[in-house]
Amino acid sequence: MKPPTSAPFAQIPQQVGGLEDPDRLLRELRLHQVELEMQNEELRSAQSALEASRDLYLDLYEHAPVGYLTLDFHGVVQAVNHTGETMLGWSRDRLLQRRFAGRIVETDRDQWQQVFARLCRDGLAQECDLSLERADGSQWQARLNGIQQKGEVPTIRLALTDLTTRRQVESRLNLAASVFTHAREGIMITDAIGTIIEVNDAFSTITGYSRAEAVGRNPRLLASGFTPPAQYVNLWDSLLKDHYWQGDLWNRRRNGEPFAAQQTITTILDAQGQPQHYVALFTDVTESHEHQRQLEYIAHYDPLTHLPNRVLLASRMHEAMAVALRTGTQLAVAYLDLDGFKAINDEHGHEVGDRVLAHVSRRMNQTLPAGCTMARLGGDEFVALIVALDQVCDSALVLERLLACASDTVHIGALKVSLSASVGVSYYPQEGDISADQLLRQADQAMYQAKLAGKDRFHVFDARNDLDMRGHNARLDRIDRAIREHELRLYYQPKVNLRTGEVVGAEALLRWQHPERGLLMPDDFLPLIESNALSEVVGEWVLENALIQVAQWQREGLLLPVSINVGARQLQHPDFVPNLMERLAAHPDVEPHMLIIEILETSALEDIEGVSLTLRKCAALGVHFALDDFGTGYSSLSYLKRLPVAQLKIDQTFIHGMLDAPSDVSILQAILGLASAFGREVIAEGVNNPAQAAQLLQLGCEVAQGYGIAQPMPPSAIHHWIVGWSKDPWPRA
């Protein structure tokens, strides 16, 4: 706005008076004065607006989101805003009147010089990315946009943008894209209504559908029909409630092949908390499912005959017994043993024997009515579970058919073999309560009666004619109940190295905490079950609880190998090795070498070939064997080389007499020499005093156990005993 002129005053007469009216002249003078004041106010307002505009411009310039610099044609900084000062990391007084090139990392200066030269020469806008260095020495990536500013003195205007954050974002996006593309898991992304909008390469590899074939379609294209509808209901309930679901689904590939997918689905929500996308990650676990199915089959079926094994039979017996009580019907348990099978095995070999077993079992299974079960317990022993009997005599026809099937000639190539069967039968319900195991034992006892009666026949268990057996069974049942009611205990007797004092292991010894009779020793109850199937049950209990205890000690920081005693019946059972593998697999934290199995010489000599094979299979698993009571078996020396045992336990009878009987010392020397020749470790049991220990050390036997070292103790006392022993062991040579 231009300043007011004196034009209005030019009309005021120079002389007051004359022809002019003084009053009118005064009014005009006042009017002009008001106009002058208004013009002054407008001038002040315009000046204030100009200053505000300037302040706003300066504020916008100083605090713009990008850095601004002005350079002369020599590259010297003439001006810089506050943002540029902050981004460059140098104070303004260190930037002004200095060459901008000094702030550029040396490797990028040539590029800057070329860009700057084009800006000065051509006047065209230029853009480049450079690495700049701050005052603290750190480097950062910047994008420079330059333009020539025309004027009397041309300048170069630069705008700086920090690319560090953008590069980080780009890097994360590139990483995410790379992970998405190269992930081994199949990834599928859908929109809120379930339409597929993106898949990765692994999706195509697993399903067979290309990206073009999948995008735009619904995930139902993968449905196989094998996943229960209820599982999909659960899936959507979880996504709606928890925005997450994980589980296995059976899908179908493009070629129609079903596959199992271990799948995780996550809901991606928008800012309002509504589903925006669904992301599904999945892997092909078909092989794992098949492996699990095979394991379940192995756990419940006999691998040779494909009949149910003891485990599945027990389950079906419990179910059948419950149905019999509910419906008022009866069931029969027929225990079959093939007569003459051992001779076939010995004469023609195990391969022929296995084929005979498979053939006979198939025939017997086919003759059973629907709903009945034929199971193999092991070897040539089978059990037929005959259900839905209105009366006991209805089972006779089925039993006769089973005997006929077993007696039919079996053709193996050109070979013809004949055998028969002895069958023992027990029925349910009975007058008193009876368990499935007791029912099976009754049938087992009746089978032996059939063998004694001449074989190729069946014998029915009758409690009224087996009074002696009833009392025996009652005692067996009490032991069986002791297992079920957790009355059995394992006590542990430490084994030590007499020379070093080190505790090298412990032997698990069975005890019965009888509620009325107190703590019973093994001699009070083990002889009752020695030749009975219950001995195998007790043996399995000992094995399982010993492994549990080893695992517990390991968690407490104590690594203590444990030895258990295994009887002849359990050791010679055909399923001994598979059962041992199953137990070890159930305790993966326990290394197999932490378990030592002790067997008696007498049990090993009953079936030297079979036991030797079993020992080699166990050794392959990492489980070691010890030959207990060594020196008491009449054939032990001649058979030692055929038994792959790691340890020999010298029978305590030789230890007790070694101080007084020179012959016992001679026997010990012979045993130690034999063990050395065969590379076997020796352990002495029954060491009761330091004198015996000193004599053993002189003979070269270093490992021992006995009441003089430590009595068997509960597992909770082992830690305390080891601490005391380490502080005050026996004197060592």
pLDDT value of residue 16: 45
Q: What is the mean pLDDT of residues 403-414?
A: 87
Asked if the 183-290 domain carries CATH number 3.10.20.600, the reply is: no
- Amino acid in position 132: L
Beta strands 647-650 and 420-428 are unpaired
- 412: Cα separation from own chain's centroid: 46
Please determine, for residue 325, whether its predicted confidence score (pLDDT) is greater than 60. yes
The CA distance from 701 to 38, in Å, is 126
Amino acid in position 607? D
**pLDDT score at 519:** 92
Longest CA–CA span in the chain (Å) reads 174
Class of domain 481-726: alpha beta
CB-based contacts of 7, cutoff 8 Å, min separation 6: none
Average pLDDT over residues 33-59: 68
pLDDT confidence of 99, banded at 50, 70, 90? very high
Is the pLDDT at 633 greater than 80? The verdict is no
- Judge whether residue 239 has pLDDT over 50: yes
Is residue 459 within 8 A of residue 424, CB to CB? The reply is: yes
Q: Name the residue with higher pLDDT: 643 or 385.
A: 385
- pLDDT for the residue 267: 92
> How large a percentage of the chain has pLDDT more than 90?
45
pLDDT for the residue 711: 94
Rounded to whole angstroms, what are the CA distances from 22 to 8, 9, 29, 323? Answer: 17, 15, 10, 137
Return the CATH fold of 301-465: Alpha-Beta Plaits (3.30.70)
The per-residue pLDDT for 179 is 72
Spatial separation of the C-alpha atoms in residues 386 and 439, rounded to whole Å = 13
Mean pLDDT of the chain: 86
Task: Kindly report, residue by residue over 538-548, the tens digit of the pLDDT.
Answer: 999 999 999 99
- Return the higher-pLDDT residue of 310 and 61: 310
d(CA 577, CA 620): 11
Are residues 156 and 146 in contact, defined by beta-carbon separation less than 8 angstroms? yes
Take residue 425 and report the two structure tokens written for it: 């039968």
- Going by pLDDT thresholds of 50, 70 and 90, the confidence category of residue 635 is very low
Q: How confident is the model over 260-277, as pLDDT tens digits?
A: 888 999 999 988 889 999
Q: Show the 3-state SS of 223-281.
A: ECCCCCHHHHHHHHHHHHHHCEEEEEEEEECCCCCEEEEEEEEEEEECCCCCEEEEEEE
Residue 215 has pLDDT above 70, yes or no: yes
Closest CA to 446 of 465, 430, 429: 465
393's tokens: 């005599």
Q: Which of 164-178, 408-422, 508-522 has the lowest mean pLDDT?
A: 164-178
- Looking at the predicted structure, is the pLDDT value of residue 7 above 60? no
Question: Nearest-5° angle of CA 62, CA 68, CA 73?
Answer: 135
Which range (342-346, 453-457, 469-473, 646-650) has the least confidence? 469-473
Residue range 23-48: mean pLDDT, rounded: 75
Question: Residue 412: which of 359, 340, 449 has the closest Cα?
Answer: 359
Give residue 418's pLDDT: 86
Tokens of 467: 């009074």
Q: Which whole-number Å values give the CA distances from 187 to 1, 158, 181, 184, 283, in the listed order?
A: 70, 45, 9, 9, 9
Beta-bridge partner residues of 77: 71
Please state the rounded mean pLDDT for residues 419-439. 90
Q: How confident is the model at residue 733 (pLDDT cuts 50, 70, 90)?
A: very low
Interval 353-381 mean pLDDT: 92
Residues of the chain with CATH 3.30.450.20: 67-167, 183-290
- Could you tell me the pLDDT band of residue 639, with boundaries at 50, 70 and 90? low
Please state whether the predicted TM-score (pTM) of the whole model is above 0.85: no
CATH topology of domain 67-167: Beta-Lactamase (3.30.450)
Helix (H) or strand (E) holding 377: strand 373-378
Most confident by average pLDDT, 49-58, 450-459, 514-523, 710-719 = 710-719
pLDDT score of 582 more than 80: yes
To the nearest 5 percent, what fractions of the chain are helix, strand and coil? 50, 25, 25
The strand pairing partners of 597, in sequence order, are 564, 625
pLDDT at 29: 78
* pLDDT above 90 (res 589): yes
Higher pLDDT, 566 or 179: 566
pLDDT at 712 over 90: yes
Q: What is the pLDDT of residue 637?
A: 58
Positions of CATH 3.20.20.450 in the chain? 481-726
Q: How confident is the model at residue 656 (pLDDT cuts 50, 70, 90)?
A: confident
* Long-range contacts, stretch 499-502, CB < 8 angstroms, 24+ apart: 499/697, 499/702, 499/732, 499/733, 500/702, 500/732, 501/725, 501/726, 501/729, 501/730, 501/732
Considering only CA atoms, give the Rg of the chain: 48
Alpha-carbon distance of 666 to 610, in angstroms, equals 32
Residue 72 has pLDDT above 60, yes or no: yes
Q: State yes or no: cis peptide before 429, omega within 30 of 0.
A: yes
- Read off the pLDDT of residues 271-303 as tens digits, 9 standing for 90 and up: 888 999 999 999 988 887 777 777 777 778 888
Tell me whether residue 526 is exposed, middle or buried, using C-beta atoms within 10 angstroms of its C-beta: 0 to 12, 13 to 18, 19 or more. middle
Of 96-100, 336-340, 598-602, 686-690, the poorest mean pLDDT is in: 598-602
Which residues contact residue 683 at a Cβ distance below 8 angstroms, ignoring those fewer than 6 apart? 495, 626, 647, 648, 649, 650, 701, 703, 704, 705
Quick check: 558 pLDDT over 90? yes
Residue 20 has pLDDT above 50, yes or no: yes
Q: What is the mean predicted confidence (pLDDT) over 242-271?
A: 90
Pairing state between β 647-650 and 681-685: parallel
Q: State residue 369 phi and psi, 5-degree precision.
A: -65, 160
8 pLDDT tier (thresholds 50, 70, 90): very low
Helix (H, G, I), strand (E, B), or coil: what is residue 81? coil
Burial class (CB in 10 A: 0-12, 13-18, 19+), 81: buried
C-alpha to C-alpha distance for 515 and 279, rounded to whole angstroms: 60
Q: Where in the chain is the domain with CATH 3.30.70.270?
A: 301-465
What confidence score (pLDDT) does residue 58 get? 62
pLDDT for the residue numbered 440: 93
197's tokens = 């909008």
Mean predicted confidence (pLDDT) in 249-261: 91
Per-residue pLDDT tens over the stretch 108-151: 999 999 999 999 998 889 999 999 998 888 888 899 999 998 88
